[in-house]
Amino acid sequence: MKKTRSIASLLSSLITACLLCALAPAMAQSPATAPIRQESVVEISAPRPAMPSWFVDARPTDDAWVALDALANAASQGLNSQDYRAQALAAAFQQAAQTGTASDAQARLDAELGAALERYLLDMNHGRLSPETLKHRFKAPLTERFDAYNHVVQARLNGRLAAALQEAQPKIPMYQAIRAAMLEYQAMGDHPAWNVPLPPLASRSLKPGDAYEGLALIAARLAALGDLPADFVPGEQYDSDMVFAAIQFQARHGLEADGLIGPATLEQLNVSPAQRVEQMALTLERLRWTPLLYGPRMIVVNVPEFVLRAYEQQGGHIRLDLEMRVIVGRALDTRTPIFLEDMRFIEFSPYWNVPSSIARGETLPRLRRDPDYFSQQGFEFVSRDGSVSNTLTGEAIDAVQNGEWRIRQRPGPRNALGDIKFIFPNDQNIYLHHTPAPQLFSRSRRDFSHGCIRIEQPVELARFVLQNQPDWTTDRIEQAMRRGTSRTLRLNEPIPVLITYSTVIIKDGGKVYFFPDIYQQDARLSQALRSARPS
Residue finishing a domain among 227, 244, 271: 271
Instruction: Looking at the structure, tell me whether residues 131 and 96 fall in a common domain.
Output: yes
Predicted local confidence at residue 316, as pLDDT: 76
User: pLDDT confidence of 46, banded at 50, 70, 90?
Assistant: low
Angle between helix 273-289 and helix 521-532 axes, rounded to 10 deg = 80
Cα separations in angstroms, 205 against 34, 250, 424: 43, 14, 43
Q: pLDDT tens across 475-506, in order?
A: 999 999 999 899 999 999 999 999 999 999 99
Cα 242 vs. chain centroid, distance in angstroms?
Answer: 31
Residue finishing a domain among 378, 394, 410: 410
Angle between helix 62-72 and helix 2-23 axes, rounded to 10 deg = 20
469 within some domain: no
Q: pLDDT tens across 300-327, in order?
A: 999 999 999 999 988 778 899 999 999 9
In terms of residue numbers, what domain contains 359?
353-410
Identify the active-site residue in 151, 433, 434, 450. Answer: 433
> What value does the CA radius of gyration of the chain take, rounded to a whole number of Å?
28
User: pLDDT confidence of 6, banded at 50, 70, 90?
Assistant: very low
295 within some domain: no
User: pLDDT confidence of 10, banded at 50, 70, 90?
Assistant: very low
Instruction: Looking at the structure, tell me whether residues 44 and 11 fall in a common domain.
Output: yes
In the residue annotation, 452 being an active-site residue is answered as yes
Instruction: Looking at the structure, tell me whether residues 119 and 81 fall in a common domain.
Output: yes
Instruction: Give the type of residue at 263.
Output: P
Specify which residues 156 forms β-bridges with: none
Instruction: Looking at the structure, tell me whether residues 124 and 225 fall in a common domain.
Output: no
Q: pLDDT tens across 154-184, in order?
A: 999 999 999 999 999 998 889 999 999 999 9
The mean pLDDT value of the chain amounts to: 88
- Contact yes or no for 277/179 (Cβ under 8 A): no
483 within some domain: no
Predicted local confidence at residue 20, as pLDDT: 27
Instruction: Looking at the structure, tell me whether residues 206 and 156 fall in a common domain.
Output: no
Element (H, E) at 183: helix 175-188
In the residue annotation, 191 being an active-site residue is answered as no
Residue finishing a domain among 362, 391, 410: 410
β-pairing verdict for 406-409 and 420-423: unpaired
Q: How far apart are CA 524 and CA 28, in angstroms?
A: 8
User: DSSP per residue over 309-323, as a string?
Assistant: EEEEEETTEEEEEEE
Instruction: Looking at the structure, tell me whether residues 100 and 200 fall in a common domain.
Output: no
Instruction: Looking at the structure, tell me whether residues 109 and 166 fall in a common domain.
Output: yes
pLDDT over 80 (residue 199): yes
Q: What angle do CA 254, 255, 261 make, to 5 degrees?
A: 145
Specify which residues 66 forms β-bridges with: none
Instruction: Looking at the structure, tell me whether residues 93 and 128 fall in a common domain.
Output: yes
Instruction: Looking at the structure, tell me whether residues 43 and 162 fall in a common domain.
Output: yes
Instruction: Looking at the structure, tell me whether residues 34 and 167 fall in a common domain.
Output: yes
- Contact yes or no for 82/18 (Cβ under 8 A): yes
pLDDT over 90 (residue 426): yes
| E strand residue ranges, 124-237 | 137-138
133 within some domain: yes
Q: How far apart are CA 449 and CA 441, in angstroms?
A: 12
Plot region of 151 (φ>0 → left; ψ -120 to 50 → alpha; else → beta): alpha
210 within some domain: yes
What is the count of structural domains for the chain?
A: 3
Q: pLDDT tens across 429-462, in order?
A: 999 999 998 999 999 999 999 999 999 999 999 9
Q: pLDDT tens across 356-407, in order?
A: 889 999 999 999 999 999 999 999 999 999 999 999 999 999 999 999 999 9
392 within some domain: yes
Q: What angle do CA 258, 262, 263 make, to 5 degrees?
A: 140
By the 10 Å C-beta count (0-12 exposed, 13-18 middle, 19+ buried), 440 is classed as middle
Instruction: Looking at the structure, tell me whether residues 121 and 15 fall in a common domain.
Output: yes
Return the CATH number at 262.
1.10.101.10
Instruction: Looking at the structure, tell me whether residues 8 and 132 fall in a common domain.
Output: yes
- For 337-344, what is the mean pLDDT? 95
Q: How far apart are CA 421 and CA 440, in angstroms?
A: 18
Identify the active-site residue in 126, 151, 253, 452. Answer: 452
228 within some domain: yes
- Contact yes or no for 238/207 (Cβ under 8 A): yes
467 within some domain: no
Specify which residues 319 forms β-bridges with: 312
| 352-353, strands of its sheet edge to edge | 352-353, 406-409, 379-382, 388-389
Predicted local confidence at residue 142, as pLDDT: 66
